Amino acid sequence: MWKYVLKRLGLLLITTFIILSLTYILLQCLPLEAPRGNTTEMISFYNRQVALGYFQRVAPGDSGYEAFIANPEAADFKMTLTTGETVFFSSLPVMVRYVRWLGNIVLRWDWGTSTQISIGQSAISIILRRLPVSMKLNIVAMIISVPAGIGLGIWAALKKNKMTDHIISTLVMVFISVPSFVLISFMLIWMAYGAKWVPTQWPSAEMAAVDWKIAVRGYVIPVLALCFGSICGFARYTRAELCEVMSSEFLLLARTKGLTRAQAVVKHALRNSMVPIVPMIIGEFVGVLSGSMILEQLYGIPGIGSLFVTALNAKDYSVVMVDMAIYTLIGLLATLVVDLSYGIVDPRIRMGASK
Amino acid sequence: MSIFKKNTAQAEVVETKEKAIAFDSSKDFEFVQLDSSIHDQKFKTKPTTFIKDALKRFVKNKSSVVAASILGVLILMAIIVPLADGNDVTANNDIATYLPPKWFNKHNGGFLDGTGKVSNVTIDPVTGFPAADSNGNYTYRKEGVVGGKDGITLSDGYADNPSSVVLEYGKGGALTVASKDPLYESFIYSTKFDIDLDSFYELSYTINEEYAETMGDFPTYSSVIVMNVSENNVRYFTIEPEHNTYGTHTISNVADIVKSDPEYNAIEDGSVIKGRLGFMLSKNTDAKTKTLTIESVSFKKDGTEIKTPDADSTDVISFSDATKAYKSWAVHGVHGGANKGLYHSKVTTGAFTYDYYAAAYCDDTGSFTDSDFDRFYELGYLEEEFNWEAGSASNFKLTPLGEEKCPAREILELEINNWGENQSKSANCVRSRYRYFYYVGYTAKCAPVKYFFGTDNQGHDFFKVVFSGLLTSLELGFLASAINIVLGVIWGAISGYFGGWVDMIMERLTEILGGMPWIVLMTLIVLMFGKSNFWIFLFALCLTGWIGTSVTTRSQFYRYKGREYVLASRTLGASDWRLIFMHILPNGIGTIVTGAVLMIPGVIFSEASISYLLPGALSFQGAISFGVTLSNAQTYIQQYPYMIISASIVMSLIMICFNLFGNGLRDAFNPSTKGAAI
């Protein structure tokens, strides 16, 4: 088992490494966006890039200086010193930058600095500042959606092919099909603009600090938006699993040996139907870290999802890289944890065992 | 029936008995089927194929059939509506913007009849109808007010936002000046007037406590006299110490205070100087917005209030009616960090039902040039060519067709201007707006058009916009699905059929590609190619979209490749190609087809999501997709929610129907998975 876990972890790291490397190289192939800001910030930015090894600073006397004098467009940034000399900054080849980038991460854990969103701050610190918001939201949504989803699923399965089941199944179908942004729009129109129960935007930290009621009400739309999907997912999955277990022979045996329906369901059916559902819940918990991009964008939530979109729009590639690293890692980890938890929940399943 | 059978049976028994009695040895053994030819009987029931069988099961699933038919209708509409609906969705129609949906001509309480209830509209006390702003533009035209004057419920109210309508019709109120500049003082001051420093000036002003508290933080301020010493040299003489108190303040002997100021000595230009009266908001220490609310100012020279020679604004220095002061008092913040406003002006407001369509299609005045008149004649609207030299409107005779379609109803006045060589001729006419829309090509019919989904910010028929977008998205969905299926099937088939290290490598590749967040990949592609268009978007959607199909196909191949029929075929010498495409794939096709159907809504969803997230980077050129339409409508969610509602309903319908249809297909193709999660 441990050998298998280690093997999977190793594979996970390799996959992450390849994905991130590919993204980095692809991003670096795009034209560089010069940082927006005043000259001091620009100069410090370029000097930092030189210090990190992504750029070269070509001063008079350095090799290649003549080429830049002849063709100043080849340089990314031109600066005239107080001495009257012109210094050029130009980016190094992509692969060189890639190797140095790797080196910086491995040796110094330096993922680069933001060029557009908040110039000069390290990308990691920007992400870390935004992570708690996304996490809090997802945790609240999980706490609501897991019991609600499983409960609805059980209810529907116990009343199979009756009115209750039909209503629940239809609702699940509808809510699974309707895209989240449509749901958010309707909730905004109804609850925020129409009835004015909840704020139309995520309350800012200052507003939330003044009045905790606004802070709580700000959670309503995002949590509901996050919940609908997962409640429906859990409900559908639970219903399908429980229905299958309910028609199995061992449950018939349980009833024949004298258990009541309630006893049979609680002691046998539920336990067995939970086998595939528990990994699903665990997988969701790993996903707690990631925010929903559309939701955060539409409701103005300062989480990592909206950060990703902002960074992409502003072409702040360092932030994009770190954000993407988080998303990739979460995605792969979720798969791994789900796979492993099958073995823990159901001892009959031996992960990685040969046929 | 059963009785009859029984009788025959009895009869047979009797017969055999008789036969037994009359025994005949030659007839003892008889070949029963001697003369009949025996061969396989044709099936009486019709033979069924896998597809027919699936279709039979599908038809039994009522919800899927309903979903499929709704889907069919929507797809048909997406094809037909952009062709059949002749309304222009490219040119901007500035008049018919934001019309709500209208389905019925009868008023039924605002439900899809193109009307809406509005309240808090400033009413012009003279006409009794909604007032125009200072530029003469109407937000609400009187033609649109349902029930005319009687339809308006009047009430007196206070307007706290100085819209231009309020400035025109409001009474009283307080002049506010807000500043948040932490570095510099901000000023508000009157127009210039002559200050004779030998006269006796008295300033008295009121800062109302009641108003001030509702307007945020209260500033420290003082009153000042501003003098232009020379062209570029402005001096501020504070005539009272800085303070932050409410109430009425009176400062007498202003001239002496100015004269006693040490800076005054710099001015040598006699005792009469041009100056202004003003208030100075001190520097902010905490960078919060601070607001001074001045209710009235009285500035007296020798006992009489000062007025400027400006005829339009008689009371600009002294005021107790802030609406007039609002215009002439100027603010000055060194970094532009100050702005003025009007607070608590008394206005008459009205609430009424407003018919947006009646207002949009009413008659107004419009100018038509000579080329327009030539066209009217060409189109047969005029009985004779319009004679400009005749100089009167008398020869403007409309034909019956013209009475129906000519945008100019009657001529109000002619304008003939000579610009050197060129002569410009135009006529101011009573213009029928709906005919005008038809004339310039905004609408396809020469009649007041009912817009089912209303119109958007550019006056476009939103019904057509939605379905044109849907068509683009469906095209994208179908194409992307087709490509993804082909790619996925080939990849999955090779990976699943050959297995071993081929499978291992191919699996890792899909894992890497699938592990990248699709939104990143998509953005990267679009950023790399620069501007996005349909094909680049399609490419981006296909880059990872096939992975799902390849996984399903791979598992199908693992399931079937060891079966006996495959082995049998292989022993007969079938090639790999034949085994894959002629034997294994047809058996696993059901699951793959279902996946294809469910992929279409997935593609539409992906497209819409990315349009929501990166509206700038990914907007289509030319054809606007459904996602772009939706995210545009999102902008107007607060003011004009009908747009997002109608577009969202269509979107939801499409998604629900595709999913129900897909699930129905899956159940039909693979009955064993019925009811299971996808």
Residue B589: Cβ within 10 Å count = 17
| Record: contact B614-A29, CB cut-off 8 A | no
Predicted local distance difference test score (pLDDT) of residue B671: 64
The pLDDT confidence band at residue B269, using thresholds 50, 70 and 90, is low
> Cα angle vertex A19, ends A17, A23, to 5°?
115
| Number of residues in chain B | 678
Q: What residues pair up with B113 in beta bridges, in sequence order?
A: B102
Separation CA B5–CA B399 (nearest Å): 89
Q: Judge whether residue A194 has pLDDT over 80.
A: yes
Q: Judge whether residue B404 has pLDDT over 50.
A: yes
ipTM of the modeled complex: 0.82
The pLDDT confidence band at residue B589, using thresholds 50, 70 and 90, is confident
Q: What is the pLDDT of residues B331-383, one digit of tens each?
A: 876 555 677 888 888 888 889 999 988 888 888 888 888 888 888 888 888 88
Q: Judge whether residue A59 has pLDDT over 60.
A: yes
The pLDDT confidence band at residue B135, using thresholds 50, 70 and 90, is confident
C-alpha separations of A19 from A31, A331, A349, B489, B516 in Å: 21, 12, 30, 24, 6
Closest-approach residue (CA) in chain A for B653: A178
| Record: contact A16-B515, CB cut-off 8 A | yes
Tell me the mean pLDDT in the region A69-77: 74
Q: Chain B contact for A121, CB < 8 A?
A: no
| Record: contact B515-A327, CB cut-off 8 A | no
Predicted local distance difference test score (pLDDT) of residue A33: 65
User: Is the pLDDT higher at B324 or at B370?
Assistant: B370
Q: Quickly list H helices, A37-115.
A: 39-52, 65-70, 94-103
Residue A161 corresponds to which amino acid?
Answer: N
Which residues, 6 or more positions from A206, have their beta carbon under 8 angstroms from its beta carbon?
A: none
The pLDDT confidence band at residue B593, using thresholds 50, 70 and 90, is confident
Q: Chain A contact for B517, CB < 8 A?
A: yes
| Record: contact B652-A178, CB cut-off 8 A | yes
Q: Chain B contact for A18, CB < 8 A?
A: yes
Q: Judge whether residue B399 has pLDDT over 60.
A: yes
User: By the 8 A CB rule, do B274 and B161 touch?
Assistant: no
Predicted local distance difference test score (pLDDT) of residue B271: 66
Q: What residues pair up with A166 in beta bridges, in sequence order?
A: none
Which residues, 6 or more positions from A332, have their beta carbon under 8 angstroms from its beta carbon?
A: A12, A15, A16, B515
Predicted local distance difference test score (pLDDT) of residue B479: 92
Closest-approach residue (CA) in chain B for A176: B656
The pLDDT confidence band at residue B85, using thresholds 50, 70 and 90, is confident
Judged by CB atoms within 8 Å, which residues 308-327 of B form the interface with A?
none
The pLDDT confidence band at residue B484, using thresholds 50, 70 and 90, is very high
Q: Which of B61, B74, B524 to mutate to test the interface with A (most CBs of A within 10 A)?
A: B524
The pLDDT confidence band at residue A200, using thresholds 50, 70 and 90, is confident
Residues of chain A contacting residue B473, judged by C-beta atoms under 8 Å apart: none
Q: Chain A contact for B652, CB < 8 A?
A: yes
Q: Which residue has the tokens 């009176």?
A: B250
Residue A342: Cβ within 10 Å count = 18
Counting other chains too, the contacts that B448-453 makes at CB distance below 8 Å and 24 or more residues apart are: B448/B357, B448/B361, B449/B87, B450/B102, B450/B103, B450/B105, B450/B114, B450/B357, B451/B99, B451/B101, B451/B102, B452/B101, B452/B102, B452/B103, B452/B646, B453/B101, B453/B642, B453/B643, B453/B646, B453/B647
**Residue B217 DSSP code:** B
Separation CA B57–CA B55 (nearest Å): 5
C-alpha separations of B28 from A84, B24, B36 in Å: 133, 6, 20
Question: Which domains, from first to last, does chain A contain?
Answer: 36-92 (no CATH), 123-345 (1.10.3720.10)
What percentage of residues in chain A have a pLDDT greater than 70? 94
For residue A13, the Cα-to-chain-centroid distance in whole angstroms is 17
Q: Judge whether residue B3 has pLDDT over 50.
A: no
Q: What is the average pLDDT score of chain B?
A: 80
Predicted local distance difference test score (pLDDT) of residue B530: 64
Nearest to A15 among B512, B523, B613 (CB): B512
A61: left (phi over 0), alpha (psi -120 to 50) or beta: left
**Residue B336 DSSP code:** S
Nearest to B638 among A193, A324, A331 (CB): A193
Tell me the pairing of strands B363-369 and B221-228. Answer: unpaired
Q: What is the pLDDT of residues B567-579, one digit of tens each?
A: 999 999 999 889 9
Residues of chain A contacting residue B644, judged by C-beta atoms under 8 Å apart: 185, 189
C-alpha separations of B119 from A148, B96, B351 in Å: 42, 21, 4
- Proportion of chain A in helix, strand, coil states, percent, rounded to 5: 70, 5, 25
User: By the 8 A CB rule, do B545 and B479 touch?
Assistant: no
Of the candidates B325, B322, B328, which has an alpha carbon nearest to the alpha carbon of residue B347? Answer: B322
Closest-approach residue (CA) in chain B for A186: B645
**Residue B302 DSSP code:** T
Predicted local distance difference test score (pLDDT) of residue A350: 60
The answer to whether the predicted template modeling score (pTM) of the entire model surpasses 0.80 is no
Return the number of CB contacts < 8 Å for A and B: 108
Predicted local distance difference test score (pLDDT) of residue B71: 94
The pLDDT confidence band at residue B314, using thresholds 50, 70 and 90, is low
The pLDDT confidence band at residue A354, using thresholds 50, 70 and 90, is very low
Return the sign of the alpha-carbon dihedral for residues B501, B507, B510, B514. Answer: negative
Residue A157: Cβ within 10 Å count = 24
Tell me the mean pLDDT in the region A89-106: 86
Of the candidates B274, B296, B302, B279, which has an alpha carbon nearest to the alpha carbon of residue B201? Answer: B302
User: By the 8 A CB rule, do A308 and A315 touch?
Assistant: no
Q: Chain A contact for B66, CB < 8 A?
A: no
Residue A313 corresponds to which amino acid?
Answer: N
Q: What is the pLDDT of residues A238-284, one digit of tens each?
A: 988 888 888 888 889 998 999 888 888 888 888 888 877 887 787 77
| Record: contact A185-B651, CB cut-off 8 A | no
The pLDDT confidence band at residue B1, using thresholds 50, 70 and 90, is very low
Of the candidates A135, A193, A93, A30, which has an alpha carbon nearest to the alpha carbon of residue B524? Answer: A30
Separation CA B331–CA B336 (nearest Å): 9
Question: What is the least distance, in Å, from the CA of A193 to any CA of chain B?
Answer: 6
Nearest to B520 among A23, A181, A193 (CB): A23
Closest-approach residue (CA) in chain A for B609: A294
B312: which 2 tokens?
């339009």
Alpha carbons within 13 A on the beta-carbon side of B20:
6
Q: Chain A contact for B530, CB < 8 A?
A: no
Residues of chain A contacting residue B651, judged by C-beta atoms under 8 Å apart: 178-179, 182
The pLDDT confidence band at residue B678, using thresholds 50, 70 and 90, is very low
Separation CA A66–CA A311 (nearest Å): 36
Residues of chain B contacting residue A23, judged by C-beta atoms under 8 Å apart: 516, 520, 524
Tell me the pairing of strands B247-252 and B201-207. Answer: antiparallel
Q: What is the pLDDT of residues A17-27, one digit of tens each?
A: 888 888 888 88
> Cα angle vertex B396, ends B394, B401, to 5°?
145
Residues of chain A contacting residue B655, judged by C-beta atoms under 8 Å apart: 177-179
User: By the 8 A CB rule, do A312 and A33 touch?
Assistant: no
A201: which 2 tokens?
């935007």
Q: Chain A contact for B520, CB < 8 A?
A: yes
Question: Using CA atoms in the order A138, A144, A149, A151, what is the torsion angle rounded to 10 degrees?
Answer: 160
Q: Chain B contact for A32, CB < 8 A?
A: no
Residue A40 corresponds to which amino acid?
Answer: T
- Secondary structure (3-state) at B425: strand
Q: What is the average pLDDT score of chain A?
A: 83
Q: Chain A contact for B614, CB < 8 A?
A: yes
B36: which 2 tokens?
């009949």
Predicted local distance difference test score (pLDDT) of residue B9: 45
Nearest to B511 among A15, A26, A186 (CB): A15
Q: Chain B contact for A97, CB < 8 A?
A: no
Question: What is the least distance, in Å, from the CA of B674 to any CA of chain A?
Answer: 9
Tell me the mean pLDDT in the region B640-649: 91
